[in-house]
A and B are shown apart, each in its own frame.
Chain A
């Protein structure tokens, strides 16, 4: 009996999947040079030209009517406004924003576990380390503005990924509690910062926390190749009683529980006065002088996207000057910024307010990241425990 029940479930599930496949496979023809692609063809479309241009891509995406994005918190790099803007521009397409507070690894896990289902993510916003391990999940696609991003910031051979935006590691703090301000990293060891300094999680788990340790290393004479001085700094911070183990969120910053947070500049900016009533009006963001530390997040499309046309339209939307300016307004430097400064599409008022991207910030390459993760696995828990 159980067997028969399971068989029935299997049959029903197959039927549902097949039906969903049919539904998204049928496309409306609309004349002109617009091409109507089947679902399978849309899955392998390498640019808007395969749809007969942007009009064809838009029509196909509207026909699908849905877009599944994942791990995009509304307060992260202006994603709240970016998602709202897409929904306003394309009211026919409904965005399902899954697991906003998840990690890059969660994105990959969702794509694998929900493969073939209508709820699987269509697009990814991935950290480089996780992405490099999962290139087989990514579909080749070139947005119209592909050429506006420099060659070493995109996958020039396979077109599977492209840099989108980076923050700089910054220190956000409450000016009301610490009116003297923070000029250098070692200031944080001062007794006035007792139980005050938090980072975004466990560096053996979260890229943003690892980046905080790397930034501390760069400020303490270390290199991206050797972040030990960063681990030593956090050990000193812990011994001084200044390290705080709470996971900072917009709420803890607004409430005052985490008065100093080392995190991406776009999050510190996004949790401050820019957030209006949900933010902390006294929150100041400081990027310390010296070599800055950044880490580009990449855009990519799921090779098994349930809504392949909408996924591709979303990417076109993200790489429009309008949206790249939205990233910039949140303090995230978009990948098209150099080109936009040249062709004048950058929002100059915003650029002046946020400040130009520093020319000499560094990132971890694959080797650096592997070394850093081995070092943290061995040393971090003991340093902070």
Chain B
């Protein structure tokens, strides 16, 4: 997610300088590179490498047998499904909100409120978020207390404690994150383009089909992938609501800290590798899409 975060406000490309003198600008990059290597690169390599060793340090591929376990397979599908649904849902809902926000004054109270709210809610997660939903949507929460009060005790039970039940919970931070990351791209649309289309006899629809969507597409896909990664790696909220697992991140925790099923700690490494592979595949698809979108934009 950290690496992806650099893609915020994507779609703005720096023109390449040809024949410019080699500058000393790279020095400014050193602190970040060292930081990223120490706190992202090294731990990631160590975690994944552990998947290839036994607990005694011998090289093995046995840890990969976990992928033959139906529970692991189900949880991988569950994680990808949950992330995809909340990424697409969050991206579309967030984009619509951004579109609506274009109509209000950039420094007006509504826009400021939504911006501030999004910054806070995009970071709202973990056990606090789980509790917020337990209080509203849990079995003893407000919604079901009212429903069961009307239709009799036990008439309804909350779906909050299942993987699909996490969708509304995750959307609670996915939509604000989309608003936060997609708004800059949306603002880059110049009103003059719309006027130009109108002058040439185009409709509003022509404008969106030929100008708006092609310009926004790379940013949209970039943000959607950020959302996917955000949900894919989320842990604490799910852990508070799904005590019996159901997601790959929870399986990693289980493998590495189990008190009862011992000797499988290094399977956490192979599970982490699976998560990285999913992200690499996704990033590759994104790369292809972006090249396609860039060509589209050139037309």
Contacts and interface: CB of A to CB of B under 8 A. Distances in A.
B254 A205 contact: yes
A52 interface: no
B240, B241, B244, B253 — most chain A CB neighbours (10 Å): B244
Interface string A148-181: 0000000000000000000000000000000000
B261 interface: yes
Contact of A372 (B161, B239, B260): B260
Given A5-B34, A246-B134, A205 B259 contact: yes
A376 B257 contact: no
A198 B241 CA distance: 12
B138 A257 contact: yes
A244 B254 contact: no
Interface in A206-261: 206-207, 209-210, 241, 244-247, 251-252, 255-257
A73 interface: no
A133 interface: yes
A191 interface: yes
Given A256-B140, A257-B139, A205 B260 contact: yes
Given A191-B154, A256-B140, A207 B260 contact: yes
A202 B140 contact: no
Contacts of B134: 246, 252, 255, 257
B165 to A, nearest CB: 9
Nearest to B250: A202
Interface stretch (A33-41, A101-109, A298-306, A316-324): A101-109
B103 interface: no
Nearest to A211: B260
B147 to A, nearest CB: 13
Contacts of B54: none
Contacts of B261: 204-205, 373, 376-377
B46 to A, nearest CB: 11
A245 B244 contact: yes
A130, A241, A246, A380 — most chain B CB neighbours (10 Å): A246
Interface string B104-136: 000000000000000000000000000100100
Contact of A246 (B161, B253, B259): B161
B210 interface: no
Interface size bracket, A side: 35 or more
B243 interface: yes
Contacts of B260: 129, 203-207, 209-210, 369, 372-373, 376
Contacts of B245: 202, 205, 381
B30 interface: yes
Nearest to B241: A246
A74 interface: no
B157 A241 contact: yes
Contacts of A255: 134, 140
Contacts of B263: 133
A194 B158 CA distance: 11
Nearest to A251: B131
B256 interface: yes
A99 B261 CA distance: 21
Given A191-B154, A246-B161, A106 B257 contact: yes
A385 interface: yes
Contacts of B241: 245-246
A116 interface: no
B243 A202 contact: yes
Contact of B139 (A129, A195, A207, A373): A195
A244 B74 CA distance: 20
A194 B258 contact: no
Contacts of A195: 139, 154, 157-158
B154 A246 contact: no
A381 B261 CA distance: 14
A203 B70 CA distance: 17
Contacts of A2: 34
A109 B50 CA distance: 14
A166 to B, nearest CB: 15
Interface in A255-287: 255-257
Contact of A244 (B70, B139, B262, B265): B139
B143 interface: no
Contact of A103 (B140, B157, B239, B259): B259
Contact of B244 (A103, A129, A384): A384
Contacts of A245: 161-162, 241-244
A187 B263 CA distance: 37
B258 A204 contact: yes
Contacts of B70: 381-382
Contacts of A25: none
A30 to B, nearest CB: 42
A357 B55 CA distance: 39
Contact of A127 (B34, B153, B259): B259
A201 interface: yes
Contact of A373 (B138, B244, B262): B262
A349 interface: no
Given A105-B256, A106-B257, A241-B157, 20 more contacts: A5-B34, A105-B259, A194-B154, A195-B139, A195-B157, A199-B243, A204-B254, A245-B162, A245-B242, A246-B241, A255-B140, A256-B140, A257-B138, A376-B260, A380-B244, A381-B70, A381-B71, A385-B71, A385-B74, A385-B246
Closest 9 CB pairs of A and B: A245-B161, A247-B243, A381-B71, A207-B259, A105-B257, A194-B154, A205-B254, A373-B261, A210-B260
6 contacts: A2-B34, A106-B257, A245-B241, A247-B243, A257-B139, A380-B244
Interface of B: 30, 34, 70-71, 74, 131, 134, 138-140, 153-154, 157-158, 161-162, 239-246, 253-254, 256-263, 265
